[in-house]
Chain A
Amino acid sequence: MTRPLFPALIPAAAAALLAAAFPSQAAAQATPRALAPGVEVEVDSPGAPVPGRIDETALRYYARIGDVARLEAEIARLKAIDPLWDPPADLFAPQAQPSGVDETPFWERLSAGRIAEARAAIAEQRVRTPGWQPSARLLEELDLAEATRRVRDASEANRWSEVVEAAAAEPRVLTCARLDTLWRTAEAYGRLGRTEDAFALYRTAVTTCPRAAERRDTLFKASAHLPPERVRDLAELGATANPAEGEDYAAVRGALAELEVGRTLARLGARGAEPAAADLARAEAAVLERRDADGALALGWFHQNRRRFAQALEWFGRANEWEPGERAAEGLVLAYAGLNRRAEALEAARPWRGTSRRVDQAVRAVERPAGTGGPAAPRGPSPLDRALAARDWSGCLDLIEAERRANRFTAALAQQRGWCLMELDRPTEAEAAFAQALALAPSAPPAERRRLTEGAEYGALQARLRQDDATGVVRDLPTSQLSEAQRRDLRAGALASQALRAYEEQRHRDALRLLDARRELEAEPRGLTLMRGWSLYALGRQNEALAVFEALDRRLSTADTREAVSVARRAIYRGE
């Protein structure tokens, strides 16, 4: 009986189920197989496993090398083939080689991902030992490893059609035993707009993978490529289908709730977002239950941007209680300012004054810039105060422009204009505004000149950092007239910029060195911590990278952190 190396194209999902249910048939039917170009062997000759019996070759290999994770996966796979089968009692005992050829070197090459080498070594062995046949399991694993690599390579190069073709050519890789390959193929379907095919593969995972964590992670993966209602269908299936003994699938429903809350919180920041009351209530409840400071901040800004200052104050207060930080303090200052409770706003800012640009800037919304409204201005928040409290940066520019046209332009207003331009991502114009503030500072009242000069110089250097001019900032910093806190802030910004540069140039040790130096100056933002993890990963320090990613994921689980955890775990599993 002959058949081509790759089976005929079969619809991927159906084939995946078939392969999961009857892999022994697939292995037993295979007859001629390509080893190296021009070399074929018959696998159903003496020495090959007897059809109908379980092939324990791989199992014994994994037991011999002590690879517990793969051993467990292989036991699960063999039990799926024959539920009555049990691992042999002498699994860990040394075994005689029936054919006289020890397959260990081939398995070792296969495990190390050196597939071509393994095939070449097998061909060489056959020349040296005529009549010897490699085990069917070894050949099957070689085929699967090649297909897995084709899928992975195409996926990493974003060649989605190739991913689908590679998986369709070897649908046996689309099983729970090769979950990463299944996920990559489902992603490819999603990217190609073939949502139903993607759904079918994710469904295979959540209904056949025995572990709750695998089903939960599948849900997270699927959320990037399927509409919410299809993710809900998957969650329902994942929580109920084919339960394995001792597994608690509550985590699957928990993941769905987490995704839905995350989606609501992410939408809060969008312009004009007005989530359904039920979604908002669910998100608020989840944030309260988890004491999630980031979620509380998102809710705070959602209310603040709609001028619901009292509600914003509540959420910023909670964020500050759960995880005190400059972002929570900034929110508190602006919410108090919106409620015209200036004294409390300044009190909230006190621990961060002079050390946090965010808070200092928020304070400017409370301490009205000199010249805004003039000495005869009535008490209470000015239009500019209100614009700043509501983070209406365009409104800030319009109001300052009106002051300029009325010949009431001052150094303080020029400086405020610079900060508003920075918020609008216009750093080049911001630098010019700070230069204008510096030029106008000598005409300010003597008591304010020093503060205005420092502020303008600090703003100009921040604007240069945003224009990727870290080198120039580091050069000019020693001669600037800035306070120690401002120097530290700018130095931290320059180090972050240099670390990013080192990372892009694949100087990962430098990236870590610069990040370490930066962390001595101030707390590390999430983006830089993620970069730290990837630098460790690139240096082969996978366990440290995993620890960084997991810590980040525990604080706030995002698509990026989940992907990072998954990649690092896979690398450790593969022994990379």
Chain B
Amino acid sequence: MPKPAVSIAVAALAALAAAGCGPGLRQDTGDRVPTTWSRIPAGEVPVLTGAGGMPAAVGARARTIGALYRSYVLVLENPTSLPGENRLSIDVEAVPDSVLGALTRPDRPFPVPLYTEERLRDTLEREFPGLDADIAPVAGRNRYGDYDYAVAGDATRRCVLAWQLIEDRTRVLPETLSAVRLEWRMCGRDVTAAALLAPFDRLTLTAAPDILDAGSYTPPPAAPLPLAPDR
């Protein structure tokens, strides 16, 4: 075969392979689409929940997107009869370990900013249907910095949704991690919002051994507080 024809054939095959549409080839989305959720023991979720105040774990699952993202959901007991699961969601974003990894970085599994006002309103309606919800005017604070939260409830039941994006790589995160996103959804009966948030305030991340506190952190009391109208 003459040399130009070989080159053309090789180029054509390369183009087809790159496009993923040639005969016998399939589109490779393996690193860009999340895996299905797999069930894992609750102890494999990279978090230490401490002792007091944390509801019992009912189940846990995890999934990945390529080598960069790993997501966990720890489902917790819900003592109310409200819809929706109590849970701690953790998304861990690693730093790519190659130029290729950086160039082919998949979409984040969570949006940034974590919530817009509209999306938060939709989320609160979905998470706490039929309950009035308010966004807390003052941020909460846990080991890893400030977080925002909303409170919903009625006469006897109270729910919180807290969300946090940890991106501080100067102090909190090691250089292997790019970000950690946390979401805490908890409903309880005859408890304050503060009591519902207390386990979130106290949790310790173990996604890497050298994650540090943000500093000036004081753990809140572990025991549930009596019902009160406000936090």
From known contacts A432-B58, A468-B37, A507-B26, infer whether A426 and B83 are also in contact, taking CB-CB under 8 Å. yes
Give the residues in chain A near B129, CB-CB below 8 Å: 271
The interface bits of chain B over 23-46 (1 if a CB of A lies within 8 angstroms of the residue's CB, else 0) are 000110100010011110000000
Residue of A272, A397, A424, A428 touching B75 (CB-CB under 8 A): A428
In this complex, the member of B26, B36, B58 whose beta carbon has the largest number of chain A beta carbons within 10 angstroms is B36
* Docked complex Cα distance between A468 and B38 (Å): 8
The interface bits of chain A over 464-501 (1 if a CB of B lies within 8 angstroms of the residue's CB, else 0) are 00011111100000000000000000000000000001
B33 touches A504 (CB 8 A): yes
The interface bits of chain B over 211-222 (1 if a CB of A lies within 8 angstroms of the residue's CB, else 0) are 000000000000
Give the residues in chain A near B26, CB-CB below 8 Å: 507
B27 touches A506 (CB 8 A): yes
Shortest C-beta distance, A141 to chain B (Å), equals 29
For residue B78, CB closer than 8 A to chain A, the reply is: yes
The interface bits of chain A over 341-367 (1 if a CB of B lies within 8 angstroms of the residue's CB, else 0) are 000000000000000000000000000
Shortest C-beta distance, B10 to chain A (Å), equals 25
B78 touches A467 (CB 8 A): no
For residue B61, CB closer than 8 A to chain A, the reply is: yes
Give the residues in chain A near B61, CB-CB below 8 Å: 467-468
For residue B116, CB closer than 8 A to chain A, the reply is: no
Q: Kindly identify, within residues 436 to 468 of chain A, every residue whose CB is under 8 Å from any CB belonging to chain B.
A: 467-468
B83 touches A424 (CB 8 A): yes
For residue A537, CB closer than 8 A to chain B, the reply is: no
B27 touches A429 (CB 8 A): no
For residue A242, CB closer than 8 A to chain B, the reply is: no
B83 touches A472 (CB 8 A): no
Q: How many A-B residue pairs have CB under 8 A?
A: 60
Give the residues in chain A near B58, CB-CB below 8 Å: 428-429, 432
* Docked complex Cα distance between A396 and B83 (Å): 12
For residue B84, CB closer than 8 A to chain A, the reply is: yes
B60, closest chain A residue (CB): A428
Residue of B29, B33, B82, B85 touching A394 (CB-CB under 8 A): B82
A425 touches B36 (CB 8 A): no
B39 touches A426 (CB 8 A): no
From known contacts A271-B129, A472-B39, A507-B26, infer whether A429 and B85 are also in contact, taking CB-CB under 8 Å. yes
* Docked complex Cα distance between A469 and B61 (Å): 10
Residue of B33, B39, B85, B130 touching A425 (CB-CB under 8 A): B85
B29 touches A505 (CB 8 A): yes
From known contacts A467-B37, A472-B39, infer whether A424 and B82 are also in contact, taking CB-CB under 8 Å. yes
For residue B59, CB closer than 8 A to chain A, the reply is: yes
B26, closest chain A residue (CB): A507
Shortest C-beta distance, A335 to chain B (Å), equals 23
From known contacts A431-B59, A506-B27, infer whether A426 and B85 are also in contact, taking CB-CB under 8 Å. yes
* Docked complex Cα distance between A272 and B129 (Å): 11
Give the residues in chain B near A272, CB-CB below 8 Å: 130
The interface bits of chain A over 267-278 (1 if a CB of B lies within 8 angstroms of the residue's CB, else 0) are 000011000000
For residue A522, CB closer than 8 A to chain B, the reply is: no
B83 touches A394 (CB 8 A): yes
Residue of A429, A431, A470 touching B36 (CB-CB under 8 A): A470
Shortest C-beta distance, B198 to chain A (Å), equals 22
* Docked complex Cα distance between A501 and B37 (Å): 11
* Docked complex Cα distance between A467 and B84 (Å): 13
Give the residues in chain A near B84, CB-CB below 8 Å: 424-426
For residue A395, CB closer than 8 A to chain B, the reply is: yes
In this complex, the member of A271, A272, A428, A468 whose beta carbon has the largest number of chain B beta carbons within 10 angstroms is A428
Give the residues in chain A near B27, CB-CB below 8 Å: 505-507
Residue of B36, B81, B82 touching A501 (CB-CB under 8 A): B36
B34, closest chain A residue (CB): A504
Give the residues in chain B near A424, CB-CB below 8 Å: 81-84
Give the residues in chain A near B81, CB-CB below 8 Å: 393-398, 401, 424
Give the residues in chain B near A393, CB-CB below 8 Å: 81, 83
For residue B167, CB closer than 8 A to chain A, the reply is: no
B36 touches A468 (CB 8 A): yes
The interface bits of chain B over 54-74 (1 if a CB of A lies within 8 angstroms of the residue's CB, else 0) are 000011010000000000000
From known contacts A394-B82, A429-B58, infer whether A506 and B75 are also in contact, taking CB-CB under 8 Å. no
Give the residues in chain A near B38, CB-CB below 8 Å: 469
For residue B190, CB closer than 8 A to chain A, the reply is: no
A424, closest chain B residue (CB): B83
The interface bits of chain B over 73-107 (1 if a CB of A lies within 8 angstroms of the residue's CB, else 0) are 00101100111110000000000000000000000
From known contacts A428-B58, A429-B77, A505-B33, infer whether A469 and B82 are also in contact, taking CB-CB under 8 Å. no
A429 touches B33 (CB 8 A): no
Give the residues in chain A near B130, CB-CB below 8 Å: 271-272
* Docked complex Cα distance between A14 and B27 (Å): 46
Shortest C-beta distance, B141 to chain A (Å), equals 29
A467 touches B82 (CB 8 A): no
From known contacts A424-B83, A425-B84, A428-B59, infer whether A469 and B77 are also in contact, taking CB-CB under 8 Å. no
* Docked complex Cα distance between A428 and B87 (Å): 11
Shortest C-beta distance, B25 to chain A (Å), equals 12
B85 touches A428 (CB 8 A): yes
A506 touches B29 (CB 8 A): yes
Give the residues in chain A near B59, CB-CB below 8 Å: 428, 431-432, 467
Give the residues in chain A near B82, CB-CB below 8 Å: 394, 424
Residue of B29, B39, B83 touching A467 (CB-CB under 8 A): B39
Shortest C-beta distance, B156 to chain A (Å), equals 11
* Docked complex Cα distance between A401 and B79 (Å): 10
Give the residues in chain B near A506, CB-CB below 8 Å: 27, 29
* Docked complex Cα distance between A467 and B61 (Å): 9
B77, closest chain A residue (CB): A429
Shortest C-beta distance, A213 to chain B (Å), equals 33
Shortest C-beta distance, B40 to chain A (Å), equals 11
Give the residues in chain B near A472, CB-CB below 8 Å: 39
Give the residues in chain B near A401, CB-CB below 8 Å: 81
A400, closest chain B residue (CB): B81
Give the residues in chain B near A468, CB-CB below 8 Å: 36-37, 61
Shortest C-beta distance, A399 to chain B (Å), equals 9
Shortest C-beta distance, A523 to chain B (Å), equals 25
Residue of A425, A432, A471, A501 touching B83 (CB-CB under 8 A): A425
Give the residues in chain A near B78, CB-CB below 8 Å: 426, 429
Q: Kindly identify, within residues 387 to 429 of chain A, every residue whose CB is under 8 Å from any CB belonging to chain B.
A: 393-398, 401, 424-429
* Docked complex Cα distance between A48 and B87 (Å): 70
Give the residues in chain B near A504, CB-CB below 8 Å: 33
Give the residues in chain B near A429, CB-CB below 8 Å: 58, 75, 77-78, 85
Shortest C-beta distance, B152 to chain A (Å), equals 14
Shortest C-beta distance, B188 to chain A (Å), equals 14
In this complex, the member of B33, B81, B85, B129 whose beta carbon has the largest number of chain A beta carbons within 10 angstroms is B81
A-B contacts, 6 of them at CB < 8 A, read A271-B130, A394-B81, A424-B84, A470-B36, A506-B27, A506-B29
- Ranked nearest first, the 8 interchain pairs of A and B with the lowest CB-CB distance are A397-B81, A394-B81, A428-B75, A424-B83, A428-B59, A468-B37, A505-B29, A428-B58
Further 15 A-B residue pairs, CB within 8 A, beyond A272-B130, A398-B81: A395-B81, A424-B82, A425-B85, A426-B78, A426-B84, A428-B85, A429-B58, A429-B75, A467-B61, A469-B38, A501-B36, A504-B33, A505-B27, A506-B27, A507-B27
- Residues of B participating in the A interface, judged by any CB pair closer than 8 Å: 26-27, 29, 33, 36-39, 58-59, 61, 75, 77-78, 81-85, 129-130
